[in-house]
Structure 1
Amino acid sequence: MDDVIIIGAGPAGSMTAKLLAEQGCRVRLLEAGVFPKRKPCGESLNPGAVAALARAGVPVQQLLQTGGTWEGSIVRGWSLGSGKIELQASFPAGRYGVCCRRELLDERLVRTACEAGAVLEERARVDGLLRDEQDRVTGVYGRFTHIGAPFALQARLVVGADGLRSAAARSAGLGAAGKLRKAAFTARVGHAEGLADRVELHVEPQLVIGVAPLGGGLANMTVAMPGRTAAAAARDKAAFMLQAASRSPRLAAKLAHAKIEGEVLASGPFDRPVKAAAVPGLVLVGDAAGYYDPLTGQGIYRAVRSAEMAALRIMEALAGGFRQPLQQYERERQAAFAPGLRLQRLIEWGSRNPYLWHSAIRGLVSSPRLSGKLASWIGDC
């Protein structure tokens, strides 16, 4: 029997697997898809994510090297604003973020988990949780999709790292749909011009547009909007994204000659509260442990930081009693992510109240102290 089964091999699952396997745990990673694979993502790691990876022994300078070629783009801060108003905020001295292709990041991270000793099983779709007579989670069941064979696997503890629509959270009765009904389109755009070493956030009425430079004139563009707007634009998502960019005064010139490269990915709704991130036999990490809004660039940070916190408490739980360490993880997770959640709610509010948002941005522009604090919040540093 495995010590730990982890559902989902994205950044949260892979990092949890790596950290546990390095401590001698028998870890099995179950992934519904096949690597490499794209997924909707802003494709940026803030300084907090870069630091968490370094603490885990995965420095991004090495992680994103391919045959001596660096496959990331360094970012030193954020640009935030609306209309013609712009606030540029730099991360604290010595801190930086990285933008990179998500499929490259995921593949490299899962490789580090396997090198540490975790066992990866792809095309393994988990449908639900196994329980004992005391209602404690004891394993998972599902199906190997490439051969149609069912499986039921047991472990001392299960980690749900399976994203917004977590089967683990749903099966445990922990997940629910939130009140905010927002969706997003994500694509890579070529021929972007004038992008600096910053992630840009453009807040317009009922729209938030994020742009992350990937290098060589390529950028990630993500547009978040009310669900009803996304439904109306679904037939031609690419055209909608470029039209949205053209309506932003600060973005239109930079993307005047831009072309969508590859598929436009849709995602949402994002507001996914959970009742708890740990119950007997189960721990939730990353997006599975709750999510609100995608456009502060903190998703990968939350994934790797929650993995870091969870792995420490899981080791304590496996060595002794489960209750206290998992309760401690819940408290630590809530404290660590509270500032980011407040910021996400503020930006979402700004998209619904553009005139008040303009006033708020003007105030931040006039206060270097507040703008520096904002950069630290966004960067989790």
Structure 2
Amino acid sequence: LHRAVLAAGVPVLPLRVAEVRQDGAGVSVPGTGLRSRWLVAADGLHSRVRRSLGLEAPTRGAPRYGLRRHYAVAPWSPYVEVHWGSDAEAYVTPIGPRLVGIAVLTTRRASFTAHLEGFPGLAARLPPDRAVTSVRGAGPLRQRARTRAHGRILFVGDAAGYVDALTGEGVALALVGAEALVANLRRGTPGRYEADWRRATRRHRLLTELLLRARLQPALAPRIMPTAARLPRVFSAAVNALA
């Protein structure tokens, strides 16, 4: 993506945006000399722009966190694996001929090593000395924005609001939102962006929310994977709907 941006001739400026100001004609970034007709804020899960404008909305439920690390281990499967634990899920993604990524999503605050120990079969495949990156984390994952369009400032990607990484569709959602945003700016209908964003992401938000609620219910969580195994067509339909 970075190479594509550079190839398209888009300038990339290594600046930190702490404040933005807008008027009827455009948006400016104090201290940088930058001004534009529109500002697209794609600054991530904990958007500084969203926070500075007071557009964060309260969330409910137990906060969830994500941790990830890469290991120099040959993938044992060409597929993404999901390992289901009592209070966490571990996602295994084949990245290269000798590299796998491990991501853990959980409500329990603990180290990556402690969480990995909860999946002994997976941990046995990942010797500690084969770790090639440090542990990176993010959270709480659920973020709500009061609006996607605030005057001439438009939010997209995780900055527009986020439910959970449970279904692994973050990049896809960002691209869907970006498509709706650009289409409305080209048509001169920025006021329609909020409704178009909601329409484009509704199915994913609903299905992810339902699955997450079930996951966080002690009586339902242990039944999810056995049910998926007994009803593969229903499970496949849900996965295809999210994709």
**Which bin holds the TM-score, normalised by the shorter protein?**
0.7 to 0.9
User: Which residue number in structure 2 is paired with residue 274 of structure 1?
Assistant: 145
Q: Which secondary structure state, in structure 1, belongs to the residue aligned with residue 67 of structure 2?
A: strand
TM-fit CA distance, 1:137: 7.9
User: Which residue number in structure 2 is paired with residue 342 of structure 1?
Assistant: 206
In 2, the alpha carbon distance for the partners of 1:278 and 1:241 equals 38
Q: Which secondary structure state, in structure 1, belongs to the residue aligned with residue 37 of structure 2?
A: strand
TM-fit CA distance, 1:219: 1.2
| 1:191/1:258 contact within 8 Å kept | no
In 1, the alpha carbon distance for the partners of 2:25 and 2:67 equals 36
What does the per-residue CA deviation read over 1:103-143, in whole Å, with 9 as the maximum and x for residues that have no partner? Answer: xxxxxx13322332322112x000111123xxx5832425x
Relative contact order, higher structure (CA 8 A, sep 6+): 1
Cα RMSD (Å) of the superposition?
2.4
Q: Are 1:174 and 2:55 counterparts?
A: yes
What does the per-residue CA deviation read over 1:319-367, in whole Å, with 9 as the maximum and x for residues that have no partner? Answer: xxxxxx2232212211222222233223433443355234343333333
The amino acid that maps onto 1:112 is: A
| 1:126/1:140 contact within 8 Å kept | no
In 2, the alpha carbon distance for the partners of 1:288 and 1:137 equals 23
The amino acid that maps onto 1:114 is: L
User: Which residue number in structure 2 is paired with residue 118 of structure 1?
Assistant: 10
| 1:184/1:223 contact within 8 Å kept | yes
Pick closer, same or farther for the CA change 1:267–1:225 going to 2, 3 Å: same
Q: Are 1:242 and 2:113 counterparts?
A: no
In 1, the alpha carbon distance for the partners of 2:192 and 2:135 equals 40
User: Which residue number in structure 2 is paired with residue 330 of structure 1?
Assistant: 194
Q: Are 1:188 and 2:64 counterparts?
A: no
| 2:85/2:119 contact within 8 Å kept | no
| 2:75/2:94 contact within 8 Å kept | no
Q: Which secondary structure state, in structure 2, belongs to the residue aligned with residue 119 of structure 1?
A: coil
Query: 1:40-55 maps to which residues of 2 (within 5 A)?
Result: none
User: Which residue number in structure 1 is paired with residue 27 of structure 2?
Assistant: 139
| 1:192/1:255 contact within 8 Å kept | no
In 1, the alpha carbon distance for the partners of 2:129 and 2:163 equals 30
What does the per-residue CA deviation read over 1:228-258, in whole Å, with 9 as the maximum and x for residues that have no partner? Answer: x32xx3xxx3422431332xx5x35544788
| 1:205/1:351 contact within 8 Å kept | no
Gaps of 5+ in 2: none
In 1, the alpha carbon distance for the partners of 2:239 and 2:164 equals 18
In 1, the alpha carbon distance for the partners of 2:95 and 2:205 equals 26
In 2, the alpha carbon distance for the partners of 1:280 and 1:205 equals 44
In 1, the alpha carbon distance for the partners of 2:222 and 2:112 equals 28
User: Which residue number in structure 2 is paired with residue 50 of structure 1?
Assistant: none
Aligned length: 242
Of all paired residues, the percent bearing the same amino acid is 26
Q: Which secondary structure state, in structure 2, belongs to the residue aligned with residue 372 of structure 1?
A: helix
Q: Are 1:359 and 2:237 counterparts?
A: no
| 1:129/1:139 contact within 8 Å kept | yes
| 2:21/2:29 contact within 8 Å kept | yes
Residue 103 (structure 2) aligned to one of 218, 222, 225: 222
The amino acid that maps onto 1:113 is: V
User: Which residue number in structure 1 is paired with residue 19 of structure 2?
Assistant: 128
TM-fit CA distance, 1:210: 1.4
TM-fit CA distance, 1:287: 0.5
The amino acid that maps onto 2:159 is: A
Query: 1:149-168 maps to which residues of 2 (within 5 A)?
Result: 150-168=31-49
What does the per-residue CA deviation read over 1:233-291, in whole Å, with 9 as the maximum and x for residues that have no partner? Answer: 3xxx3422431332xx5x35544788322211011111110111012211111001001
Residue 177 (structure 2) aligned to one of 306, 311, 324: 306
Q: Which secondary structure state, in structure 2, belongs to the residue aligned with residue 128 of structure 1?
A: coil
What's the TM-score once normalised by structure 1's chain length? Answer: 0.58
Q: Which secondary structure state, in structure 2, belongs to the residue aligned with residue 198 of structure 1?
A: coil
